[in-house]
C-alpha cells in the first residue's frame, strides 16, 4: 500500500492542492501537432501497404513509427509546457528522453496494423489495447520526469479512466481507418479524417491524464537564474517534429516513386517484348491520326519500316476511298464517342508499300489518358485465311456435287437394276404357279430367290445411302408390337429350326399390345439383328426378349445368341458399313456387313440407343432401346399382306419397257382387271382423253414425256375440262425419298416401286380409290368359325394346302410319342419332361400355322419356369382340346391322301426316283428341303410299298432332323442302286 500511496492520492490527505492553468494557444498547437503527425503516419502506412518488397515495407513502417512517436511525444511535451503551475518546474533529461520510447512502440504497432489490406477484429482490439497502453505509458513516464517542490499524486478514478479512454479511442481510430475503405471517399479525404480522429484520441488521453494529476504543497518562486520561454520552446519543438515528419514521409514517397519507376520500366520492357514479338501488326495513333508506334509485324505486313511511318498520318496505309474519309471518321468518333468501332473486329483492306492490297482483320482499342486519347489498332493478315476459306468452300461444293452425282448414280443404277429384276421376279412368280416338272420348279425357285436376294442387297445399299444423307423419314402409326415380333420370329424360325437352335421370343406381361411408331423400320431392325444372330450361331440358342422401359415411354429389345462372337477389335468395327469381323466370316457366312450398320442408324434415327456385348467363341448380345408411345388398335393392320379383293377395274399401264408391260398385264388380268398399255406420256394423254379408266399406273422414267410431266399435264387438263380427278400411281424402280416427293408434287396420288410387289400394288390401288382393301387372300381356305389353323401363314410356309395338311396330320399322329404331355397327370410329374414337350410343341406349331397352340404352349412353358405348376395342370386340358379341334377341322374339310399331290404327276421309274433321291439328299445336306423332290420320293415309296421307310423319312423331315433324313436317304439310294444293278431298266 505504501507504493500506491507514493502514486495515488489517499483520502486522509488534507494538504492544499495547487491549481494550474493552460495556455490555450499552446494547447491548440499540441492538438495540431498530434493531428498532423497522425495524418502523415497514415500516409506512410498507405505507402507501406503498397510496397512490393518486404524490406521497403518495414522501412516505411519503422520510419513512420519514429515520426509518429516523435509527434506524440512532442504533443505531450507541448501540453506540459502549456500547463502553468505557478511554481518552479524542472525536467529530468534522462527520463524525459526515455519517455519517447513507449510512443514509438505504440506507433509501430499502429502502423503495422494500418499497413495491412484487411484486419481481423481480434487483431484490431489487441492493437488498440497496445497503442492505448503505449500512449499512456509515454504520458505518465513523461510526467514522472517533472522535478518541483510540490508532490505529484494522481486521482485513482481519473487515472484509470485515462487508460481506458486511451485504449477505446485508439481502437476506434484504427477501426475508423479501415471502415473508411468501404466508402467512396478519396485517399486524401480518408487520411485527413483518420488523422483527425487519431490525433484527437492521442490528445484526449493526454489531457485526461493531466486531469488526474494532483499537486500537493506550497508554491515556490521561479528560479531567477533561468528564464524559460515555454511558447518559444513549443514552437521550436513543433517545428522540428513537423520537419522530421515531413522528411520521413517524403523519403518514403521517394522510395515508393523509385519502386514504381522500376516497375514501370519492367512493365514497359515486358509490353515492348510482347508488341515486338506479336504475330499481328500493332499500330498506335493519336487523336489526329498520327502514327506513334509501329511494331515489327506491322513492318512485315505493310512493307514499311517504323522510321518511315512514325509521325505520318495512318491513312497512308489505306486505299481509296478509306484514305480520304479516315480523318472525318476519326473526328466524328471524337465528337460522338460511338462505341461501335471500339473493341469490335471488322474486315477491311490495307495498302502495302508496293501498292498491293491486303485483306485484313482490324480491331481498335482506346487508351484513356489525360488530354487526348490514344488508339491502338491490331491488324491480322487475312490473305491465307481467305485462301483457306475459299479452298474449303470449293471443296464443300465439290463434295456436294459428288454427293449429288452419287445420288443420281444410285437412283439411275436402282432404276436400271430394278427394271430387269422386275421381269425376273415377276415372271418367275407367275411361272411358279403353273404346272412344271420338279426340276423346272426347283430351277425357277432358285432364280426367284436369287433375284430377291439381289433386290435385298440393292435395298440395303440404298438404305445406307439414304441414312447417310438423312433423307429417311419416319412415319407414326398405331401397330401391334407383339404381333410384329411374332411375325419376324415366324419368318425366321425355319432357318433356326434347320440348325436345331433353341429359338425363343419372350415379352413381359406389362408390355402394351399397341404402340405408335414406325413398324416398318422396327421390323427392319429386328430382321437384321435376329437374322444375324441365327446366321452366326451354329448350335445353342437365340433368345429375343421384349419389355417396356420403366419410368419412360420406351421399349427394350434384347437379342442374345450363343454364336461365334467377336473379339474386342472386331467389336469396334461392327457398326462400320460393309465391314464384317474378318474376310473369313464373309466367305463362310456371306452377307455384306450392312445389316447391323443399318439397324444402328435406324435406331439412332428413331431416337433410341443400341448397345452390344460380345465374347469370341461365346456369343453376342444386342440391346436396343426405342422411344415408343402407347397406341391404340389400328383400324387397318399394316402388317396385313392379303391380296385385296378389288372389283374389276379398267387400268391404264404406262411403261416404256415391254417386259414390264407384259408382266403388269398378266398379273393384273389374273385378278380380273382390264389393262391398257402405253409406252410414253403423249400416248397416255391421248388414251385418257378418249377412254375412261379407273386408275392409271405411270412409270416415272419414260422417253419423250416422263410420268411426272404427264401427271402435271393431265391435272391441268382435268381442271380445264372440269373432270373428276383420276387416281394416278407413280411406278418407278427408284426408291429415293426425293422421287416420292416429286411424284406428290406432280399430282400423283400413290407410289409403287419395282420390282413388282403385287400385294402392295393392289393395296395402293385400293387406297387411292377409297376402296376397302381388307379381304382374305386368294386361293385360301375359308376357315371355320374360331379356326385354330392360320391357313395364310401355313400356306406361306409350306407352299400348298396338301403339304400343310400332311404336316399337321403328321404332327398330331406323333404328338403323344414325341411330346408326352401325359407326364403331367402323375402325382409327382417330371416337370423337365413337360417343359421340353411344351417347348417342342411351341416351335413345331409355330411352323405349322397354329399360332394359338404356339402361344398357349409358350404361356404354359413360362408358368413352369416361374413355378406356377398348379395353373399349368388346370390349363393343360385346354391345349388338349385345341388338338382335338384341329383334328376335327382337318377331318371336316376332307384332307387329301397323305402323300399325294394332285398337281404333280411324275413317272415313278427307278431311274427317275434315283435322280430325285439324289436331289433331296443334296438339299438336306445343306439343311434345306427341296419340296418337289420330296413329293416325288414320297410318291415313289408309297407306290413301291416301302411304308416303313416312308414313315421314318416323314418323321425325320417333320422334326427337321436333317441328319437322320440324310442317313435314311443314303440307305434308300444304296438299295435302289443295288436293285438297278441286279435288274437294270430296259430302254426300248
Kindly report, residue by residue over 161-202, the tens digit of the pLDDT: 878 877 787 777 777 766 766 677 776 777 777 778 777 777
Is 462's pLDDT higher than 90?
A: no
Q: What is the DSSP string of 536-604?
A: T-SSSEEEEEEEEPTTSSEEEEEEEE-S----HHHHHTTTSTT--S-HHHHHHH---S-HHHHHHHHHH
Q: Which cell numbers hold the place of 113?
A: 496494423
Confidence tier at 823 by pLDDT (50, 70, 90):
confident
Instruction: Residue 107: name the closest of 115, 98, 118, 117 by CA.
Output: 115
Task: Work out the angle at residue 861's Cα, subtended by the Cα atoms of residues 857 and 862, and round it to the nearest 5 degrees.
Answer: 120
Specify the higher pLDDT residue, 847 or 766: 766
- When the pLDDT of each residue in the chain is averaged and rounded to a whole number, the result is 76
Is 710's pLDDT higher than 90?
A: yes
Is 471's pLDDT higher than 60?
A: no
Kindly report, residue by residue over 497-506, the tens digit of the pLDDT: 778 888 888 8
Q: What is the pLDDT of residue 687?
A: 92
Confidence tier at 268 by pLDDT (50, 70, 90):
confident
Q: What is the pLDDT of residue 938?
A: 77
Is 777's pLDDT higher than 60?
A: no
Q: What is the pLDDT of residue 851?
A: 84
Q: Which residues pair with 732 in a beta bridge?
A: 753
- Strand 650-654, strand 674-678: pairing: parallel
Residues 6+ apart with CB under 8 A from 413: none
Q: What is the pLDDT of residue 712?
A: 93
Q: What is the pLDDT of residue 776?
A: 42
- Is 681 within 8 Å of 728 (Cβ atoms)? no
- Integer CA distances (angstroms), 722 to 165, 714, 725, 746, in order: 113, 12, 9, 18
Helix/strand/coil (H/E/C) assignment for every residue in 675-732: EEEECCHHHHHHHHHHCCCCEEEEECCCCCCCHHHHHHHHHHHHHHHCCCCCCEEEEE
Kindly report, residue by residue over 306-320, the tens digit of the pLDDT: 888 898 988 888 888
What residue segments make up the domains of the chain, in order of their start? 2-257, 278-381, 473-630, 650-768, 791-892, 910-982
Q: What is the DSSP string of 81-110?
A: HTEE-SS-EEE-HHHHHHTHHHHHHHHHHH
Give me the percent of the chain exceeding a pLDDT of 70. Answer: 74
Q: What is the separation of C-alpha 270 from the centre of its chain, rounded to a whole number of angstroms?
A: 44
Q: What is the pLDDT of residue 545?
A: 92
Is 8's pLDDT higher than 70?
A: no
What does the alpha-carbon distance between residue 65 and residue 852 come to, in Å, rounded to a whole number?
Answer: 106
3-state secondary structure of 361: strand
What does the alpha-carbon distance between residue 620 and residue 444 come to, in Å, rounded to a whole number?
Answer: 37
Residues 417-445: what's their mean pLDDT?
72
Instruction: Residue 25: name the closest of 232, 306, 240 by CA.
Output: 232
Confidence tier at 639 by pLDDT (50, 70, 90):
very low
Kindly report, residue by residue over 212-254, the tens digit of the pLDDT: 777 776 666 655 444 456 666 667 766 766 776 677 666 666 6
Q: What is the pLDDT of residue 363?
A: 86
Q: What is the pLDDT of residue 652?
A: 94
- Integer CA distances (angstroms), 774 to 344, 406, 645, 648, 759, in order: 69, 40, 8, 16, 12
Architecture of domain 473-630 in this structure: 2-Layer Sandwich (3.30)
Q: Is the peptide bond before 493 cis (omega within 30 degrees of 0)?
A: no
Is 721's pLDDT higher than 70?
A: yes
Lowest mean pLDDT among 86-90, 343-347, 696-700: 86-90
Q: In what order do the strands lie in the sheet with 541-548?
A: 502-507, 541-548, 554-561, 619-627, 609-615
| Coarse DSSP helix, strand, coil percentages of the chain, rounded to the nearest 5 percent | 60, 15, 30
CB atoms within 10 A of CB 50: 15
Specify the higher pLDDT residue, 961 or 722: 722
Alpha helices in 470-554 (DSSP H): 481-498, 519-535
Q: Which helix (H) or strand (E) holds 956?
A: helix 947-958
DSSP type of residue 316: G
- Integer CA distances (angstroms), 826 to 814, 838, 871, in order: 21, 16, 15
Query: Which among 64-68, 84-88, 404-408, 611-615 has the top mean pLDDT?
Result: 611-615
What is the topology classification, in CATH, of domain 278-381? Beta-Lactamase (3.30.450)
Alpha helices in 145-229 (DSSP H): 156-179, 187-212
Q: What is the pLDDT of residue 651?
A: 94
Q: What is the pLDDT of residue 591?
A: 45
Is 1's pLDDT higher than 60?
A: no
Q: Which residues of 442-457 are buried (b: 16+ CB within 10 A; e: fewer)?
A: bebbebbeebbebbee
> Given this structure, which CATH class describes domain 650-768?
alpha beta
pTM strictly above 0.75: no
What does the alpha-carbon distance between residue 173 and residue 343 come to, in Å, rounded to a whole number?
Answer: 46
Give the right CATH number for 791-892 from 1.20.120, 3.40.50, 2.40.50, 1.10.3470.
Answer: 1.20.120
Q: Which cell numbers hold the place of 322?
A: 478509306
Kindly report, residue by residue over 112-161, the tens digit of the pLDDT: 776 776 667 777 777 777 777 777 777 777 777 776 767 777 777 877 88
Q: Which helix (H) or strand (E) holds 147?
A: strand 146-148
Is 626's pLDDT higher than 50?
A: yes
- Taken as a whole, the chain contains a residue count of 988
Is 518's pLDDT higher than 80?
A: yes
Confidence tier at 470 by pLDDT (50, 70, 90):
low
Amino acid at each position: 500500500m505504501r507504493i500506491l500511496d507514493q502514486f495515488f492520492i489517499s483520502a486522509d490527505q488534507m494538504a492544499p492542492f495547487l491549481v494550474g492553468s493552460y495556455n490555450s494557444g499552446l494547447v491548440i498547437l499540441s492538438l495540431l501537432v498530434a493531428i498532423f503527425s497522425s495524418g502523415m503516419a497514415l500516409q506512410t502506412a498507405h505507402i507501406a501497404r503498397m510496397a512490393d518488397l518486404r524490406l521497403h515495407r518495414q522501412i516505411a513502417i519503422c520510419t513512420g513509427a519514429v515520426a509518429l512517436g516523435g509527434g506524440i511525444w512532442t504533443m505531450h511535451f507541448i501540453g506540459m509546457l502549456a500547463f502553468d503551475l505557478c511554481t518552479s518546474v524542472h525536467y529530468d533529461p534522462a527520463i524525459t528522453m526515455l519517455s519517447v520510447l513507449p510512443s514509438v512502440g505504440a506507433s509501430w504497432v499502429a502502423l503495422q496494423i494500418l499497413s495491412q489490406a484487411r484486419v481481423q477484429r481480434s487483431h484490431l482490439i489487441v492493437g488498440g489495447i497496445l497503442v492505448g497502453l503505449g500512449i499512456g505509458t509515454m504520458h505518465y513516464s513523461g510526467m514522472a520526469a517533472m522535478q518541483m517542490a510540490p508532490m505529484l499524486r494522481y486521482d485513482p478514478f481519473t487515472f484509470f479512466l485515462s487508460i481506458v479512454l486511451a485504449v477505446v479511442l485508439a481502437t476506434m481510430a484504427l477501426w475508423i481507418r479501415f471502415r473508411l475503405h468501404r466508402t467512396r471517399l478519396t485517399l486524401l479525404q480518408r487520411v485527413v479524417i483518420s488523422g483527425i480522429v487519431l490525433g484527437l484520441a492521442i490528445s484526449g488521453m493526454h489531457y485526461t491524464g493531466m486531469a488526474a494529476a494532483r499537486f500537493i504543497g506550497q508554491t515556490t518562486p521561479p528560479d531567477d537564474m533561468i528564464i524559460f520561454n515555454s511558447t518559444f520552446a513549443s514552437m521550436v519543438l513543433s517545428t522540428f517534429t513537423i520537419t522530421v515528419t515531413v522528411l520521413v514521409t517524403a523519403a518514403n514517397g521517394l522510395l515508393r516513386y523509385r519502386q514504381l519507376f522500376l516497375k514501370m520500366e519492367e512493365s514497359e520492357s515486358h509490353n515492348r517484348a510482347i508488341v515486338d514479338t506479336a504475330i499481328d501488326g500493332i499500330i498506335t495513333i493519336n487523336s489526329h491520326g498520327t502514327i506513334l508506334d509501329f511494331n515489327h509485324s506491322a513492318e512485315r505486313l505493310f512493307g514499311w519500316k517504323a522510321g518511315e511511318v512514325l509521325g505520318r498520318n495512318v491513312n497512308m496505309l489505306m486505299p481509296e476511298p478509306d484514305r480520304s474519309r479516315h480523318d472525318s471518321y476519326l473526328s466524328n468518333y471524337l465528337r460522338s464517342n460511338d462505341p461501335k468501332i471500339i473493341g469490335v473486329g471488322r474486315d477491311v483492306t490495307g495498302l502495302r508499300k508496293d501498292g498491293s492490297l491486303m485483306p485484313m482483320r482490324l480491331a481498335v482499342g482506346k487508351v484513356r489518358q489525360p488530354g487526348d486519347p490514344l488508339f491502338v489498332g491490331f491488324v491480322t493478315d487475312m490473305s491465307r485465311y481467305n485462301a483457306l476459306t475459299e479452298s474449303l468452300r470449293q471443296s464443300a461444293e465439290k463434295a456436294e456435287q459428288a454427293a449429288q452425282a452419287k445420288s443420281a448414280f444410285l437412283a439411275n443404277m436402282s432404276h436400271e437394276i430394278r427394271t430387269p429384276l422386275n421381269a425376273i421376279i415377276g415372271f418367275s412368280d407367275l411361272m411358279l404357279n403353273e404346272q412344271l416338272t420338279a426340276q423346272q420348279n426347283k430351277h425357277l425357285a432358285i432364280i426367284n430367290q436369287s433375284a430377291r436376294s439381289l433386290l435385298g442387297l440393292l435395298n440395303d445399299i440404298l438404305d445406307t445411302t439414304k441414312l447417310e444423307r438423312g433423307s429417311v423419314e419416319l412415319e407414326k402409326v398405331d401397330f401391334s408390337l407383339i404381333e410384329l415380333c411374332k411375325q419376324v420370329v415366324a419368318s425366321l424360325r425355319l432357318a433356326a429350326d434347320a440348325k436345331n437352335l433353341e429359338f425363343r421370343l419372350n415379352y413381359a406381361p406389362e408390355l402394351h399390345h399397341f404402340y405408335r411408331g414406325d413398324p416398318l423400320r422396327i421390323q427392319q431392325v429386328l430382321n437384321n439383328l435376329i437374322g444375324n444372330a441365327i446366321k452366326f450361331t451354329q448350335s445353342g440358342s437365340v433368345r429375343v426378349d421384349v419389355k417396356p422401359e420403366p419410368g419412360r415411354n420406351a421399349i427394350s429389345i434384347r437379342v442374345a445368341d450363343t454364336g461365334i462372337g467377336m473379339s474386342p477389335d472386331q467389336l469396334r468395327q461392327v457398326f462400320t458399313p460393309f465391314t464384317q469381323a474378318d474376310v473369313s466370316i464373309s466367305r463362310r457366312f456371306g452377307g455384306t456387313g450392312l445389316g447391323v450398320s443399318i439397324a444402328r442408324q435406324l435406331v439412332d434415327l428413331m431416337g433410341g440407343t443400341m448397345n452390344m456385348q460380345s465374347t469370341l467363341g461365346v456369343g453376342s448380345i444386342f440391346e436396343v432401346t426405342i422411344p415408343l408411345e402407347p397406341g391404340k388398335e389400328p383400324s387397318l393392320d399394316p402388317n396385313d399382306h392379303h391380296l385385296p379383293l378389288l372389283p374389276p377395274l379398267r387400268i391404264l399401264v404406262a411403261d416404256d419397257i415391254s417386259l414390264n408391260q407384259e408382266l403388269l398385264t398378266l398379273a393384273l388380268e389374273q385378278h380380273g382387271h382390264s389393262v391398257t398399255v402405253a409406252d410414253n406420256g403423249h400416248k397416255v394423254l391421248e388414251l385418257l382423253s378418249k377412254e375412261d379408266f379407273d386408275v392409271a399406273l405411270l412409270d416415272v422414267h419414260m422417253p419423250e414425256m416422263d410420268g411426272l410431266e404427264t401427271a402435271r399435264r393431265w391435272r391441268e387438263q382435268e381442271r380445264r375440262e372440269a373432270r373428276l380427278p383420276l387416281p394416278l400411281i407413280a411406278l418407278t424402280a427408284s426408291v429415293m425419298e426425293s422421287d416420292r416427293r416429286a411424284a406428290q408434287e406432280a399430282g400423283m396420288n400413290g407410289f409403287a416401286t419395282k420390282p413388282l410387289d403385287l400385294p402392295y400394288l393392289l393395296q395402293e390401288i385400293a387406297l387411292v380409290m377409297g376402296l376397302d382393301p381388307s379381304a382374305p387372300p386368294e386361293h385360301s381356305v375359308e376357315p371355320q368359325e374360331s379356326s385354330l389353323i392360320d391357313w395364310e401363314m401355313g400356306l406361306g410356309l409350306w407352299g400348298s394346302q396338301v403339304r400343310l395338311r400332311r404336316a399337321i396330320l403328321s404332327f398330331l399322329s406323333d404328338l403323344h410319342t414325341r411330346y408326352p404331355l401325359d407326364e403331367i397327370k402323375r402325382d409327382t410329374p417330371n416337370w423337365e419332361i413337360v417343359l421340353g414337350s411344351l417347348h417342342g410343341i411351341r416351335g413345331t406349331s409355330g411352323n405349322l400355322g397354329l399360332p394359338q397352340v404356339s402361344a398357349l404352349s409358350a404361356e404354359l412353358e413360362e408358368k413352369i419356369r416361374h413355378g406356377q405348376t398348379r395353373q399349368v395342370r388346370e390349363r393343360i386340358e385346354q391345349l388338349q382340346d385345341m388338338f382335338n379341334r384341329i383334328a376335327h377341322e382337318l377331318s371336316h374339310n376332307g384332307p387329301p391322301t397323305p402323300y399325294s399331290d394332285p398337281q404333280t404327276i411324275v413317272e415313278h421309274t427307278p431311274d427317275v426316283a434315283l435322280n430325285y433321291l439324289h436331289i433331296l439328299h443334296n438339299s438336306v445336306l445343306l439343311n434345306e428341303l427341296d419340296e418337289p423332290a420330296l413329293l416325288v420320293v414320297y410318291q415313289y415309296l408309297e407306290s413301291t410299298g416301302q411304308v416303313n421307310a416312308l414313315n421314318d423319312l416323314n418323321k425325320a423331315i417333320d422334326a427337321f432332323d436333317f441328319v437322320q433324313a440324310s442317313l435314311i436317304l443314303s440307305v434308300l439310294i444304296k438299295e435302289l442302286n443295288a436293285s438297278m444293278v441286279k435288274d437294270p431298266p430296259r430302254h426300248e
